[in-house]
Structure 1
Amino acid sequence: MGINPGSARYYRILAGLYLPFHFCLFTKPTNKSNMSNNSNDKKTNNTFYEWQDFKTNIVKASEAVPDSSLRGRRFLDRVDRWFRKLDGVTLRYIPENYHPFIQAGAIANFMFVVAVITGFALLIWYSPSVHYAYDSVVSMSDKPYTAELIRSLHRYSSDAFMLFVLFHAFKVFFAGRFSGSRWLAWITGIIAVLLIWFDGWLGYWLVWDERAAMIATGTAKMIDVLPIFAEPLKASFLTDDSFNSVLFLIVFFMHMLIPIAFGIAIWLHVARLNKPAFITNRNFSILLLGSLVIVSLLFPADVEGPADLMSAPENVTIDYFYLLPLILTERLQGGTLWLIFLVGFIAVSSVPWIMKRQKEDTQPVIDEIKCNGCTQCFHDCPYNAISMVPREKGNPKKSEFVANIDPSICVSCGICVGSCDPVAVEYPNLSPWEIRSKIDKWLDEENRTLEGQFIAFVCGNSAGSLLTIDSETGECKEMPGYLVATLPCAGWVHPTLIERALKKGAEGVLVSGCESDPDFRLGADWLGDRIEGERHPEFRKDRYEVDRILYLKLDKPDFSKFLTEAQQFRGSREKENR
């Protein structure tokens, strides 16, 4: 048996059409300001250790994130920074709603829909019989703008699905978004990918060409290890005449029904999300479909020679997204194949538990007595972890229902803290009352070290994650003139906290949030809307100047830009007050 890697040519074409911006990866503008930023960073690093020697409460901003205790977190962060750098560079040229890297999950779902529709359309020409299947597929090439085009769309959309879903999975893994309550999304995602892979494996079987014969014998080798059939299944593939047509029909119906199971898995995958981006928007979908059509017309899906069970095929090209196991099935026994599969499945499925260290509970709870039943946290929670339940404590006249947080769903993002006017959400590791007390203490006239003091609220997943801070005093060597409080998410900030800092005498307030593909989804957007007065609770513009607030949405790789903009904001405010 010979396997030819030549089929990889259409992957390069597919990637080129979907990712026309790949040149951005090799073009990163350099200017004098960037060079000066780098030199400033070096100066900061040279003097940092001298400053640190006098501090006793040193913490990294990234430690405020609930999943910061993951095993291998440093390695994950390094790779995650490359993903975010890729997002940041390409976002200069491509809007977020059309961004293949950020919308990878939605693109995968769109490709699945295309594959399902084209699969049903192929039934017009395809004959699900072992005796006529191959001829019906070959005859499609006589209809290049109907049958052949639809078959090519079916194949390339299936490949594109696997391409984007794997990219999405790698991004999620290196961002650490699989631990705690997110285990369900991780497990259902794995199951969904396996279902589609197996469906693609069976789909190639239905062509009944040389590849299909290899798939059939490889499948039989694994099934014969299991005590299912009285007679070995591989006996059905000894000669062309011995193949059972009923078995071929079973494969056909399995191929048609597996997408239903996939749909259930995807529903469970996003069931805990509030406003999930399940599929791409209309314009982006048209663009993707157009790309598929171009690839399909230029490079129609191929077909090998007819299946011949009496001889070993030679120089067969394979689709590596679905047929890579053929390399193993031709060389290993069924028991060994099962061992590889089970060990791999258990290892990948166990990631949420293997990589998580024991850490104290960080999930928030609702103080039922304080809760006024306004439902704002219920609407703001990105993970549908909050429900409204009948009140059991407190004044029943205040409200009939109160908020309740389901600990099995909550990911400890703290966005509900920023939603709550009566401060009824108790966040164990970062109490809003504690932060208020710190702000009051830092800005007290007796404790001030500078005339014009600035406050910074920094998300541990944003560009400010590398900051090293004295948690007691808020001092930060990288940001002179700022007193820094670290947060799990920018959405944790309630507008009254910003107002309080300004009222107590802060010259300005900086808030740092994530830019692209935030770890806690909607939190950064919710805060931006609150500051602009477009979402409750609103920042009161009639009492405080919005110009005294700088909201930076920058990702981890943009640390130098973050420091530069923070100092420019401070400089502009000081200049204005002279």
Structure 2
Amino acid sequence: VLSGVLLLFFYKPSIFLAWHSVYQSEARFNIKLFLHTVHRYASDGFMFFIIVHTIKAISEGRFVRGFRWSWWTGIGLAFLMWTAGWSGYFLLWDSTSSQVGIFTAKALDYLPIFPDILKRSFVDERSVGSLLFFLIFFVHISFAIAFVIGLWIHISRLRRTRYFFKKNVVYKLGLFLLFFSFFFPVSQQPKADLLSTKAVVQGDLFYLTPLILEKYLSFKTVLFLMFAGFFVLLIFPVFERRRKERQAPYVLSKRCTACRQCFQDCPYGAISMKKTEEGREAAFINPELCIECGVCVGACDPQGIVFPQLPIIDSRKKLRDWLRKSKGEKKGVVFVCAQGAGMDLRIKEEDGTCEEIPEAFVLPVTCTGWIHPTFFELLAREGVSKVLVVGCGETAPYHRWGARLAQRRIKGERHPRLRIDKIKELDIMYIHYGADDFEGFLNSAEKFFSEAEEEVKDKVKTFRWGRKVRRAFVEGVSLIIFGFILFAGFSNFAGVSIGTYDKALLVLSLKAEGVPVKVEERKDNSALLPHMRAKGAVRVERHPVSARILVDGKEVLSAKFKPIGIFKEGDSVGYKEVFIKPGRRKVVLFLDKNGDNNPELKVEKNIVFKKGRKVVLEVDNNEIKWWWKNDHVYPAKWTDQLSGSGFNIR
């Protein structure tokens, strides 16, 4: 956003000035190109993180049940972001911009909402016009604003949402972008040339994949793959694996004291406060929004929430039985989040033992926020000396702030608080380890259960400090490697050449009015008000316009163009391309507007066709324009005024 705002001071939304306003500079250091590079790399990085976020959501199953709304709005946001980036490429008006415009026009021509063929707008620079530039510029900015609004909708049901990165992350990403933008600027492309049959497209897989695929596949195939991929993502929640029906969590309204603690702690807004039949307020869990994290169980002081997936009463009984059967051999218990490093533990469900942590019993939980403070009081009464609580990663906890809430409850900073006077002899330690740091988790657990309390605290602290140093080093190296892979491999690799180089192209762009076939007049309109009375014909049905083109006496094109409109009363429009061998050729055009195979118009011209160049034959009702030169500012044109029979508009 910041780089885009700064670019506004230099950018000029005009077909004749856009390229110069970004790429050309008399200064030794082109600040405009630098800002453009930052803007480009930032948008590519944004799309990269959207892709990573989508893959992460799929791998964690965050597209079913209570996540459906977030999934569908997220797909819409990804589409908005991609469209904003796609339209941004058009605004530069370089060789990539022309291909983006032509591809978009061809795609929109499949929609039956435009009266004309949009691809006809890209036969030459004057047909594009600066008004279209301003429109695309408006779309580019408005889609970015719509993304911000959509982001609020996307996370509307989440509580305590953090909208911005932490400061250290912002500084790292900012320096990372500035470094690569300064030393590896984007390649400068030539100005767009619509009369060229070839073009070099920027190598950007995040936004320009359709153009790159079009080199190897047909346009219809690429368009089908785009819509099919978008449709599959939309219906992805339908592919949820069918699971056994189980009862959703619910609140025992008679036990509920309406303290609102579960309502405040639910990360996904699945709990609301409603009136019961007795007329008092109580919590209610919406099963459609609940993702069964269990955070509300640990938040309920009177223990009035039933959690069928992991019943709190059964878990207490299980722990009590394990401890009494061991007869004091094991004095430790580990509560481990099943979504973090603990997912790799080999735990025996029947007795709670684990090969990796032989000193303690291990109880996996859906989230450490599920743990109620009374668990620790029970363990203290049963003679347990040490309890280790292992949450998932601090940076991206699986159930958002569930792990943080559990830690604050243990410290006595959040209700329901742990009563210290009930657990004087109990040593509790809370640590965070994500699924990617299983070894670090085991090392911390071993130190905690094998050494004295003071030694454990010092060594664990030293161990964590060592982790931070190693983590900073790994982050720095990873960012550099990531930058080269992202920008050199996906965002700014060598341009892809599309089109043909060894042939010339003859383009027919036609808009002509066929002769009326059927005219219906209103019989009596005297009963209507004067301003509502139609003059003359109210419905005209016209003949299609036929066109034939001969090159050196050989027919290369024969097509019939139907009139547009529901009642076939409009002009006939069409766009055709034919490859021609280079050299001096005699081109003859025949137009038939009566449908009797007797052309009313014959136009011929000798033209030199060159390799890699287009010759445009534009028929626009009462005149024909030939285009084959382009000096990048104003295209030269030769116009033949027509006076053939039946061609002039009356």
Superposed pair shares fold, TM > 0.5: yes
**What does 1:173-572 correspond to in 2, within 5 Å?**
173-282=58-167, 284-361=169-246, 363-393=248-278, 401-444=281-324, 447-516=325-394, 517-545=396-424, 548-572=427-451
Distance 2:137 2:422 in 1: 68
Cα deviation for residue 563 of structure 1 reads 4.0
**What does 1:37-76 correspond to in 2, within 5 Å?**
none
Distance 2:439 2:88 in 1: 50
Cα deviation for residue 270 of structure 1 reads 1.6
Aligned partner of 2:4 in structure 1 is 119
Cα deviation for residue 525 of structure 1 reads 1.4
Cα deviation for residue 340 of structure 1 reads 0.6
Cα deviation for residue 521 of structure 1 reads 1.4
Cα deviation for residue 299 of structure 1 reads 4.2
Residue 302 of structure 2 aligns to which amino acid in structure 1? P
Aligned partner of 1:25 in structure 2 is none
Deviations 1:298-356 (A, max 9, x none): 44444311111111344443333211211123454443233111221122333333143
Instruction: Structure 1: give runs of 5+ residues left out of the alignment.
Output: 1-114
The DSSP-based 3-state class of the residue aligned with 2:421 is: coil
The DSSP-based 3-state class of the residue aligned with 1:150 is: helix
Cα deviation for residue 369 of structure 1 reads 0.9
Distance 1:193 1:552 in 2: 35
The DSSP-based 3-state class of the residue aligned with 2:336 is: strand
Distance 1:221 1:565 in 2: 60
Distance 2:26 2:150 in 1: 35
1:163 aligns with 2:48: yes
Instruction: Structure 2: give runs of 5+ residues left out of the alignment.
Output: 456-650
Distance 2:101 2:42 in 1: 23
Cα deviation for residue 409 of structure 1 reads 2.1
Contact 2:390 2:432 in 1 (8 A): yes
Distance 1:563 1:530 in 2: 24
Aligned-pair RMSD on alpha carbons? 2.9
Contact 1:218 1:330 in 2 (8 A): no
Q: Judging by fraction of residues, say which structure has more strand.
A: 2
Deviations 1:463-499 (A, max 9, x none): 2223333434334444435333221111100111121
Greater mean deviation of Cα atoms: 364-373 or 566-575: 566-575
Deviations 1:161-214 (A, max 9, x none): 123332333333333333321122222222212211111111111111111111
Contact 2:63 2:237 in 1 (8 A): yes
Contact 2:385 2:426 in 1 (8 A): no
Contact 2:90 2:100 in 1 (8 A): yes
Identity percentage of aligned residues = 38
Distance 2:154 2:392 in 1: 23
Residue 317 of structure 2 aligns to which amino acid in structure 1? S
Cα deviation for residue 420 of structure 1 reads 0.8
Contact 2:263 2:271 in 1 (8 A): yes
1:129 aligns with 2:129: no
Contact 1:210 1:308 in 2 (8 A): yes
Distance 2:226 2:200 in 1: 26
* Count of residues paired in the alignment: 454
Cα deviation for residue 271 of structure 1 reads 1.6
The DSSP-based 3-state class of the residue aligned with 1:359 is: coil
Contact 1:460 1:486 in 2 (8 A): yes
Deviations 1:108-156 (A, max 9, x none): xxxxxxx2x4334433332222233223333457595754443333223
Distance 1:557 1:281 in 2: 21
Q: For residues 245 and 363 of structure 1, do their structure 2 counterparts lie closer, same or farther at Cα, with a shift above 3 Å needed?
A: same
Distance 1:422 1:544 in 2: 19
Distance 1:546 1:159 in 2: 55
Q: For residues 558 and 299 of structure 1, do their structure 2 counterparts lie closer, same or farther at Cα, with a shift above 3 Å needed?
A: closer
Computing the radius of gyration over CA atoms, which structure comes out larger, 1 or 2?
A: 2
Deviations 1:432-456 (A, max 9, x none): 1221222333334xx3454444333
Distance 1:552 1:311 in 2: 63
- TM-score of the two chains, using structure 1 as the length reference: 0.72
Aligned partner of 1:100 in structure 2 is none
Instruction: Give 4+ residue runs of structure 1 displaced > 6 Å after superposition.
Output: 573-576
Contact 2:68 2:237 in 1 (8 A): yes
Higher relative contact order (CA 8 A, sep 6+): 1
Q: For residues 323 and 422 of structure 1, do their structure 2 counterparts lie closer, same or farther at Cα, with a shift above 3 Å needed?
A: same
Contact 1:203 1:255 in 2 (8 A): yes
Q: Judging by fraction of residues, say which structure has more helix.
A: 1
